[in-house]
Amino acid sequence: MARDTYVFLGFLLLFAVVNIGLVVSGLLSADWTGLGVITGAGMTLALYSFLYKDNPLFKFAEHVFVGVASAYIFGQYWYPTIYGELIAEWTELEAGETANWWLLAPTALGLLMLTRFSLRFAWLSRYSFAFFVGLGAGLTIPRYISSFILAQIEPTLRPLSLSWDGFNLLVILVGVIGVLVYFFFSVEHTGVAGRVSKVGIWFLMVSFGASFGYTVMARISLLIGRVTFLLEDWLHLM
Protein backbone atom coordinates (compact mmCIF):
# COMPACT_ATOMS: atom_id res chain seq x y z
CA MET A 1 0.00 0.00 0.00
CA ALA A 2 1.14 3.56 -0.62
CA ARG A 3 2.64 5.56 2.24
CA ASP A 4 -0.34 7.89 2.29
CA THR A 5 -2.71 4.95 2.81
CA TYR A 6 -0.66 3.87 5.85
CA VAL A 7 -0.78 7.43 7.20
CA PHE A 8 -4.55 7.54 6.65
CA LEU A 9 -5.21 4.21 8.35
CA GLY A 10 -2.80 5.04 11.16
CA PHE A 11 -4.62 8.31 11.76
CA LEU A 12 -8.02 6.58 11.90
CA LEU A 13 -6.69 3.94 14.28
CA LEU A 14 -5.12 6.58 16.55
CA PHE A 15 -8.35 8.60 16.55
CA ALA A 16 -10.38 5.54 17.50
CA VAL A 17 -7.95 4.52 20.26
CA VAL A 18 -7.87 8.03 21.75
CA ASN A 19 -11.67 8.28 21.78
CA ILE A 20 -12.10 4.84 23.31
CA GLY A 21 -9.60 5.84 25.98
CA LEU A 22 -11.43 9.10 26.68
CA VAL A 23 -14.82 7.40 27.00
CA VAL A 24 -13.50 4.52 29.12
CA SER A 25 -11.69 6.92 31.45
CA GLY A 26 -14.87 8.97 31.86
CA LEU A 27 -13.41 12.18 30.42
CA LEU A 28 -16.01 12.01 27.66
CA SER A 29 -19.55 10.97 28.49
CA ALA A 30 -21.03 7.98 26.64
CA ASP A 31 -24.08 9.90 25.45
CA TRP A 32 -25.09 12.33 22.70
CA THR A 33 -22.93 15.07 24.23
CA GLY A 34 -19.83 12.90 24.21
CA LEU A 35 -20.60 11.70 20.70
CA GLY A 36 -20.99 15.32 19.68
CA VAL A 37 -17.51 16.19 20.95
CA ILE A 38 -16.04 13.17 19.17
CA THR A 39 -17.85 14.14 15.96
CA GLY A 40 -16.64 17.73 16.23
CA ALA A 41 -13.07 16.60 16.85
CA GLY A 42 -13.25 14.15 13.96
CA MET A 43 -14.55 16.76 11.53
CA THR A 44 -11.91 19.25 12.73
CA LEU A 45 -9.03 16.82 12.26
CA ALA A 46 -10.40 15.63 8.91
CA LEU A 47 -10.42 19.19 7.63
CA TYR A 48 -6.96 19.90 9.07
CA SER A 49 -5.63 16.86 7.20
CA PHE A 50 -5.62 19.13 4.15
CA LEU A 51 -2.50 20.75 5.61
CA TYR A 52 -0.64 17.48 5.02
CA LYS A 53 -2.11 16.93 1.57
CA ASP A 54 -5.46 17.10 -0.21
CA ASN A 55 -7.08 13.76 0.60
CA PRO A 56 -10.43 11.90 0.55
CA LEU A 57 -11.03 12.48 4.27
CA PHE A 58 -10.87 16.25 3.78
CA LYS A 59 -13.17 16.12 0.76
CA PHE A 60 -15.63 13.91 2.67
CA ALA A 61 -15.77 16.32 5.62
CA GLU A 62 -16.06 19.31 3.28
CA HIS A 63 -19.05 17.82 1.47
CA VAL A 64 -20.76 16.80 4.70
CA PHE A 65 -20.40 20.41 5.84
CA VAL A 66 -21.92 21.73 2.60
CA GLY A 67 -24.94 19.46 2.94
CA VAL A 68 -25.56 20.14 6.63
CA ALA A 69 -25.06 23.91 6.29
CA SER A 70 -27.45 24.35 3.37
CA ALA A 71 -30.22 22.38 5.11
CA TYR A 72 -29.70 24.25 8.39
CA ILE A 73 -29.99 27.61 6.65
CA PHE A 74 -33.15 26.45 4.87
CA GLY A 75 -34.61 25.78 8.30
CA GLN A 76 -33.79 29.33 9.33
CA TYR A 77 -35.74 30.68 6.36
CA TRP A 78 -38.62 28.25 6.74
CA TYR A 79 -39.56 28.55 10.41
CA PRO A 80 -39.42 32.31 11.09
CA THR A 81 -40.46 33.59 7.67
CA ILE A 82 -42.00 31.21 5.15
CA TYR A 83 -44.00 29.33 7.79
CA GLY A 84 -44.00 31.89 10.62
CA GLU A 85 -45.01 34.98 8.65
CA LEU A 86 -46.73 33.60 5.54
CA ILE A 87 -48.31 30.20 6.09
CA ALA A 88 -49.23 30.83 9.73
CA GLU A 89 -50.65 34.26 8.76
CA TRP A 90 -53.49 32.53 6.93
CA THR A 91 -53.78 29.23 8.76
CA GLU A 92 -53.43 30.25 12.41
CA LEU A 93 -55.74 33.19 12.74
CA GLU A 94 -57.32 33.79 16.11
CA ALA A 95 -60.96 34.77 16.56
CA GLY A 96 -61.60 38.27 15.25
CA GLU A 97 -58.25 38.51 13.44
CA THR A 98 -58.00 39.11 9.71
CA ALA A 99 -55.08 38.11 7.53
CA ASN A 100 -52.80 40.73 6.01
CA TRP A 101 -53.79 40.29 2.37
CA TRP A 102 -50.98 42.62 1.28
CA LEU A 103 -48.58 39.74 2.02
CA LEU A 104 -49.87 38.03 -1.12
CA ALA A 105 -47.89 40.54 -3.18
CA PRO A 106 -44.38 39.72 -1.85
CA THR A 107 -45.36 36.03 -1.76
CA ALA A 108 -46.23 36.21 -5.45
CA LEU A 109 -42.98 38.07 -6.17
CA GLY A 110 -41.05 35.43 -4.25
CA LEU A 111 -42.69 32.59 -6.16
CA LEU A 112 -42.09 34.41 -9.46
CA MET A 113 -38.41 34.50 -8.57
CA LEU A 114 -38.37 30.70 -8.67
CA THR A 115 -39.39 30.73 -12.34
CA ARG A 116 -35.76 31.63 -13.05
CA PHE A 117 -35.07 27.95 -13.59
CA SER A 118 -37.74 27.48 -16.25
CA LEU A 119 -36.55 28.13 -19.79
CA ARG A 120 -40.05 29.14 -20.88
CA PHE A 121 -41.12 31.28 -17.91
CA ALA A 122 -37.77 32.70 -16.74
CA TRP A 123 -38.79 36.18 -17.94
CA LEU A 124 -41.39 36.32 -15.13
CA SER A 125 -38.58 36.34 -12.56
CA ARG A 126 -37.47 39.69 -13.94
CA TYR A 127 -40.37 41.37 -12.10
CA SER A 128 -39.12 40.06 -8.76
CA PHE A 129 -35.57 41.16 -9.43
CA ALA A 130 -36.74 44.51 -10.77
CA PHE A 131 -38.68 45.13 -7.56
CA PHE A 132 -35.88 43.92 -5.29
CA VAL A 133 -33.02 45.67 -7.04
CA GLY A 134 -34.94 48.82 -7.94
CA LEU A 135 -36.26 49.39 -4.42
CA GLY A 136 -32.85 48.57 -2.96
CA ALA A 137 -31.20 51.12 -5.24
CA GLY A 138 -33.75 53.78 -4.29
CA LEU A 139 -33.41 53.16 -0.57
CA THR A 140 -29.63 53.30 -0.87
CA ILE A 141 -29.18 56.70 -2.46
CA PRO A 142 -30.38 59.17 0.20
CA ARG A 143 -29.01 57.06 3.05
CA TYR A 144 -25.55 56.74 1.57
CA ILE A 145 -25.45 60.49 0.85
CA SER A 146 -26.39 61.25 4.44
CA SER A 147 -24.45 58.65 6.41
CA PHE A 148 -21.38 58.08 4.24
CA ILE A 149 -20.76 61.29 2.33
CA LEU A 150 -22.04 64.14 4.49
CA ALA A 151 -21.35 62.45 7.84
CA GLN A 152 -17.80 61.59 6.78
CA ILE A 153 -16.88 64.89 5.12
CA GLU A 154 -17.87 66.94 8.16
CA PRO A 155 -15.29 65.43 10.60
CA THR A 156 -12.63 65.64 7.86
CA LEU A 157 -13.07 69.41 7.60
CA ARG A 158 -12.83 70.28 11.29
CA PRO A 159 -10.82 73.44 12.13
CA LEU A 160 -7.11 72.80 12.49
CA SER A 161 -5.12 73.88 15.52
CA LEU A 162 -1.51 74.10 16.62
CA SER A 163 -1.60 70.93 18.68
CA TRP A 164 -1.09 67.20 18.30
CA ASP A 165 -4.81 66.82 17.52
CA GLY A 166 -4.51 69.58 14.93
CA PHE A 167 -1.56 67.82 13.32
CA ASN A 168 -3.51 64.56 13.18
CA LEU A 169 -6.47 66.34 11.59
CA LEU A 170 -4.15 67.78 8.95
CA VAL A 171 -2.71 64.35 8.24
CA ILE A 172 -6.25 62.92 7.91
CA LEU A 173 -7.27 65.73 5.55
CA VAL A 174 -4.18 65.21 3.38
CA GLY A 175 -4.73 61.46 3.40
CA VAL A 176 -8.41 61.61 2.41
CA ILE A 177 -7.65 64.00 -0.45
CA GLY A 178 -4.69 61.89 -1.57
CA VAL A 179 -6.72 58.68 -1.61
CA LEU A 180 -9.63 60.32 -3.45
CA VAL A 181 -7.25 61.72 -6.09
CA TYR A 182 -5.61 58.29 -6.45
CA PHE A 183 -8.99 56.67 -7.18
CA PHE A 184 -9.97 59.41 -9.64
CA PHE A 185 -8.85 57.67 -12.83
CA SER A 186 -10.48 60.15 -15.20
CA VAL A 187 -7.46 62.45 -14.75
CA GLU A 188 -4.00 61.24 -15.68
CA HIS A 189 -1.79 60.83 -12.62
CA THR A 190 0.99 63.15 -13.74
CA GLY A 191 2.28 66.45 -12.40
CA VAL A 192 0.42 67.73 -9.33
CA ALA A 193 -2.23 65.00 -9.57
CA GLY A 194 0.53 62.41 -9.77
CA ARG A 195 2.26 63.69 -6.64
CA VAL A 196 -1.00 63.89 -4.69
CA SER A 197 -2.01 60.41 -5.76
CA LYS A 198 1.44 59.16 -4.68
CA VAL A 199 0.68 60.51 -1.20
CA GLY A 200 -2.63 58.64 -1.40
CA ILE A 201 -0.77 55.42 -2.21
CA TRP A 202 1.37 55.83 0.90
CA PHE A 203 -1.73 56.19 3.05
CA LEU A 204 -3.30 53.17 1.36
CA MET A 205 -0.20 51.08 2.05
CA VAL A 206 -0.34 51.94 5.75
CA SER A 207 -4.03 51.10 5.78
CA PHE A 208 -3.49 47.78 3.99
CA GLY A 209 -0.68 46.97 6.37
CA ALA A 210 -2.98 47.59 9.33
CA SER A 211 -5.66 45.45 7.67
CA PHE A 212 -3.13 42.68 7.05
CA GLY A 213 -2.04 42.78 10.69
CA TYR A 214 -5.65 42.50 11.82
CA THR A 215 -6.33 39.74 9.29
CA VAL A 216 -3.46 37.71 10.73
CA MET A 217 -4.94 38.31 14.18
CA ALA A 218 -8.36 37.14 13.02
CA ARG A 219 -7.11 33.92 11.46
CA ILE A 220 -4.90 33.08 14.41
CA SER A 221 -7.88 33.70 16.73
CA LEU A 222 -9.92 31.16 14.79
CA LEU A 223 -7.04 28.67 15.09
CA ILE A 224 -6.84 29.33 18.84
CA GLY A 225 -10.56 28.56 19.08
CA ARG A 226 -10.22 25.19 17.37
CA VAL A 227 -7.04 24.23 19.24
CA THR A 228 -8.77 25.15 22.51
CA PHE A 229 -11.70 22.90 21.57
CA LEU A 230 -9.35 20.00 20.77
CA LEU A 231 -7.17 20.40 23.86
CA GLU A 232 -9.90 21.33 26.38
CA ASP A 233 -13.22 19.90 25.28
CA TRP A 234 -11.91 16.77 23.55
CA LEU A 235 -8.58 15.74 25.11
CA HIS A 236 -9.13 17.46 28.49
CA LEU A 237 -5.49 18.56 28.57
CA MET A 238 -6.26 22.15 29.59
Partner 1 sequence: MIQKLLDIDRRIIFVLVLVAVATPLLMGTVLPITPTKEVQAAYDEIEKRAAGDVVLVSFSYGASTVPEMQPMARAILRHAFRRDLKIVAICLWPEATGLAQEVLEDMAAEFELQYGVDYAFMGYKPGNFSVILNMGQDFHSAFPQDHWGTKADELELTRPLRSLKDFDLVFDLAAGDSIEFWWIPYGQEKFGFPFAAGCTAVMAPDLYPFLDSGQLNGLLGGLAGAAEYETLIDHSGTASKGMSAQSFAHLIIVAFVIIGNAAYFISRRTRPEQRS
Partner 2 sequence: MLFFNRTLPLIVAFAFGMLGIVIYYIPHSGAQSVEREMALWVRIVFAFAYLLGLYSLLNLHWQRIRQHAAGWGYSLVAIASFSLMMLFVVYNDGHGPFAAQAAAGGYKWLFDNVHVACASTMFSILAFFIASAAYRTFRARTPEAALLLVAAVIVMLGRVPIGREISEFFPVATDWLLNVPNLAAKRGILLGVSLGAIATSLRIIFGIERSYLGGGDE
227 makes contact with partner 1 (CB under 8 A):
yes
193 makes contact with partner 2 (CB under 8 A):
no
Structural contact between residues 18 and 11, judged by C-beta atoms closer than 8 angstroms: no
**Nearer Cβ to partner 1 (121/167):** 167
CA distance 137 to 3: 57
155 makes contact with partner 1 (CB under 8 A):
yes
84 makes contact with partner 1 (CB under 8 A):
yes
CA distance 109 to 93: 23
Q: Which of 102, 108, 103, 110 is nearest to 77 (CA)?
A: 110
Structural contact between residues 128 and 110, judged by C-beta atoms closer than 8 angstroms: yes
> According to CB under 8 A, which residues from 150 to 169 bind partner 2?
152-153, 156, 168
Angle, vertex CA 186, rays to CA 184 and CA 192, nearest 5:
65
Partner from partner 1, partner 2, none contacting 237, C-beta within 5 to 8 A by type: partner 1
93 makes contact with partner 1 (CB under 8 A):
no
What is the contact surface with partner 1 in residues (CB under 8 A)? 51-52, 69, 72-73, 76-77, 79-81, 84-85, 139-140, 143-144, 146-148, 151-152, 154-155, 207, 210-211, 214-218, 220-228, 231, 237-238
